[in-house]
Structures are given as C-alpha cells and as structure tokens.
Structure 1
Amino acid sequence: MKKTIFVSGATSGIGYSVAKKFAENGDRVIITGRRADRLELIARELEGAYGAEIFTICFDVRDKDVSLNVMDQLPEHWQHIDILVNNAGLAAGRDSFENSDIEDFDAMIDTNVKGLAYLTKGLLPLLVKNGKAHIINVGSIAGKQVYAMAAGYCASKFAVDAFTKGLRIDLLPHNIKVTGIHPGAVETEFSIVRFKGDETKANAVYTGYKPLSGDDIAEVIFYSANLPAHVCLNDIVITPTAQAGIHYFHKNI
C-alpha cells in the first residue's frame, strides 16, 4: 500500500536521497525546501524515473507562520500523511564560540530546533488523524557528543535529541512512532554550507576515508519506516566504518 511521505530539506543531500528512496518504492512524496527551482527539477526527475506522485511546497521552516500552517497548502488528497521526515537543518561556521558569528548561532537554532518544532506542530493534526503515523527526526552524532568549535551546532542537535525523546513520550496515546536518526560523517552539502562555500576546507573533512552518503542514511530511514506496526526504532547512531565516535577517525593519509 502506498504511503505519503513529507520530507523537509529535500533539495539536496539526505533529504533528496530520502525522497528518491521512497519514490523508487512507489510511495507518494511531498518535498519541501527553500529553492523552488531545485524542487521542481527533483519533482520532474522522480516523476519521470519512477512514475511517482510528487507534490512540492517551497518555504523555509524558520518561517513560523508558514510552518505552523503548512497543511493549508496541501490539497485534501495529500493530507493523509504517514511519515514526516524532519531533515531540514544546517551547520554554520566552525569557530570557538567567542570568535563565532552570533548570526550563525541564530541560524542553527532557528532551523535545526525551532523550524523542526514548528513544522512538526503544524503537521501534527494530520499525523494524529492518521492513527499510525511516524515522525523521523534527522539529528546528528553531534547531538550525542560535543566537539570543539561547534558549540552552537552541538547545542542545536542535543536539543533535537531531547525534543525527539520528549515527543515520543507525548505522542504515545496517538500511536505515533518517533525515531531519531543521528549520522556521523556524511558527505553532502553540509560542509560546503558550514564553511560558507570554501571547497578546500569542506573537502578536507572527508579526506582519507569513505564517509557516509545521503543514500546510506536514506536506506536506514526507509528501513525504520517499514517495520511492523508494533516495532519502533527509537534512536539510531550511524557512522562510516572509519569513524568511532565524534573524535575518532582512521584516515589513510
């Protein structure tokens, strides 16, 4: 039976891979993001490659009014949502806190924490109505272990972890599964955004070992979303084989 998946931050990286994985399986996918041109391009790609039903909504999860009222943008036949994948997020800057730009801190808190909460709140009436929905929040290993020059990012992802755990408790009466996915090193646009377009610094993050890809994370999300109704994977930390925790890598350099 086809499911309807809502994916935030679907214009690249993990979000794009998640949309592609579910579309390939024949599911209906709502893709969202800030880049309208990318959304339309991806929609055409997935429709053409898999014959999938795709619906696009262009918005920024930081926009409180839009996120809280996002279901108003959904036609009636798109309002039976089975799975919400809260993927939109970013890292901005890599400095000790005293040297960091407070605007970067605001961007991470506003997107990774508040935006995730706004969108979840906005879609909860539809998820509760479903009777057997699933919320999957993409966090980070940085929400489990803190590292240097990333205080703001780690704070935002620790908040995602706590929010996910609290949400799981609050939504028990509604039969809603809640899963936290916490990747280690994944090669996407993540480091390009963090280093503000500096490709040399971004590429150095992944030198000497094979990092995870967006497709790897999508496989795990797809698996967790397709378990029996009575089974919920609560908390998943995923790293490349070459990574053992946030500080430890084996690099062939």
Structure 2
Amino acid sequence: MRKQLQGTTVGITGASMGIGAACAREFAAQGASLLLCSRSSEGVQQLAHELQHEYDVPTYAFALDVRQRQQVEQALQELPAQWQAIDILINNAGLALGLEPLQDGSLDDWEQMIDTNVKGLLYMTRAIVPGMIQRKRGHIINIGSLAGRYAYPGAAVYCGTKAAVRAITDGLRMDLVDTPLRVTDLQPGMTETNFSNVRFHGDSSRASQVYRDIEPLQAEDVAQTALFIATRPAHVQIQEVLMTCTHQAASTVVHRPGK
C-alpha cells in the first residue's frame, strides 16, 4: 500500500531533537524521503540512520548552522542532485534564551535568537522557495509559537522573533498566491522538549518548573499536526494553526491542576 508521502522530499531544520526529530519520524512513517540538518552533526546523523532502518526511507543528514548565510547557501548548493528538489520545508530551527526583563537582557542571547529564529528561517526560505516555484509544487511550514501572538514578561525579544515569523509567513503566502505553493505557520504553546533547558542555559531544575503540575504538549503532538497540514489535498491551504495544551489559554494564562 502506497504511503501518503512516498516520493516526497521533506527538509527539516533543527532536526536532531524535539519537534524537528518528531516531525522526521512522523513524515518517515508516511514514506517521505528525509533531508535533515542540525548544528549537531552526530545527533542528526544518528536519527537519519535510525529512521532509514526503521521505515526504509531514503535519508540524508548534514550539519548546518542556519544562522550562517554563506554556510546555508553553500550547503544547499552542494546537495547531491537527488536531494535538490525539496517538496516540503519545515523551518523548525529556533530557540529561546533567558527570561530576564528587557532592560537586563543579554545582547548575545538576543543576537542568537534573532539570527536563528528570523534570519535562519529567511536564509533557508530564500534558498529553497525559487526551486519550488520552478517545479510548481511545494509547502513551507514555519514552526512559530503562541509567543508570536501573546507576549509575556522576560521574553520580549523571543516573542518578537516569533511575531516576525508570523508576519513573514503571511507575507510569503501573499507573494506566492499566484503559485501552487502553500505556506503555513504552526504555532504551538507549551511543549515539553529541550526548549526550556536551552532557555535556562542547562539549568534542568529551573526548566522542569515550566511544566510543573500540567500536562503540556509533546513534540509528537506538534509533529502529527504538521503531518496533517502537509497531507491536505492540493487545493487546501491551512494558513495557520494555534495549538496549546488544554489548560493553557495564553502564554501566561495556565491552570496547574496537577498530573
């Protein structure tokens, strides 16, 4: 029986863990060929090997720091010919750093968030979308955030980057309205991944408090939603999806009933 995405090439950034890795697994299960990149070469190579063995799908993994414009351009230009035609791009690479008031924030943290969440997404999109237009097929799924809609204290810059993702996604959709390409902003709320551990620079004790007494989204929940979005009929474009766990209404409006 033919799987839904057999013959489709899916490119995923930030694929070594979290939502990126979960997307890789969900799309592999539907027969997609996987083009996986991450700053962690070892992690993404291991994932590609596991998925190729488990689902018998072609995989190609490489190290890539999406913040580096020249590295992005060179890496994509040097892809083997069979991996050049990307049908679905999942711009997943992103992070939050720190939770200090703006006036006390780290400029280094700000630059890393802006360079990854905004500029990295733009570099990947600019490099890949022209080929999609030429081939007259393609879908760009940007992993945004609830934070792009509802700012919260200590996260002005992170929220600003995700608001930018939302605006960029909307603008790109308008620019492509006369093509068959589809563009989606997938905006999850609290999702239990390595996200908070990264935000707090490895302070796992502090990170664990984010999800205290609540059942947050899991990476698999977001990945399954991305798969649903990508497998709609060609005439259906899901412009955006905002998803949270049941007890989260906005960024800081959370009920913690205990698990």
Q: What TM-score comes out, normalization by structure 1 length?
A: 0.98
- One of 62, 78, 85 as aligned partner of 2:83: 78
Deviation at 1:2, TM superposition (A): 2.2
Cα distance per residue 1:158-214 (max 9 Å; x no partner): 100000000000012222100000000000010000000001110000010100011
Does the residue aligned with 1:215 lie in a helix, a strand or coil? helix
Give the AA of the match of 2:145.
S
Distance in structure 1 (CA, Å) of the matches to 2:14 and 2:28: 16
Cα distance per residue 1:107-153 (max 9 Å; x no partner): 00000000100111011222212212100000100001110000110
Partner of 1:233: 238
8 A contact 2:215–2:245 mirrored in 1: yes
CA RMSD of aligned residues (A): 1.0
Deviation at 1:26, TM superposition (A): 1.1
Q: What TM-score comes out, normalization by structure 2 length?
A: 0.95
Does residue 198 of structure 1 match 2:198? no
Partner of 2:214: 209
Partner of 2:135: 130
Distance in structure 2 (CA, Å) of the matches to 1:46 and 1:57: 15
Unaligned runs of 5+ in 2: 1-5
Give the AA of the match of 1:248.
V
Cα distance per residue 1:74-122 (max 9 Å; x no partner): 2111122110000000001110011111110100000000010011101
1:129-168 alignment to 2 at 5 Å?
A: 129-168=134-173
Overall identity of the aligned pairs, in %? 39
1:1-253 alignment to 2 at 5 Å?
A: 1-253=6-258
8 A contact 1:70–1:122 mirrored in 2: no
8 A contact 1:183–1:239 mirrored in 2: yes
Unaligned runs of 5+ in 1: none
Distance in structure 1 (CA, Å) of the matches to 2:244 and 2:205: 23
Cα distance per residue 1:39-71 (max 9 Å; x no partner): 111011101111111011211000011223443
Distance in structure 2 (CA, Å) of the matches to 1:224 and 1:194: 28
Give the AA of the match of 1:171.
L
Give the AA of the match of 1:131.
K
Does the residue aligned with 1:244 lie in a helix, a strand or coil? strand
Give the AA of the match of 1:66.
Q
Tell me the number of residue pairs that the alignment of Structure 1 and Structure 2 aligns.
253
Distance in structure 2 (CA, Å) of the matches to 1:46 and 1:128: 29
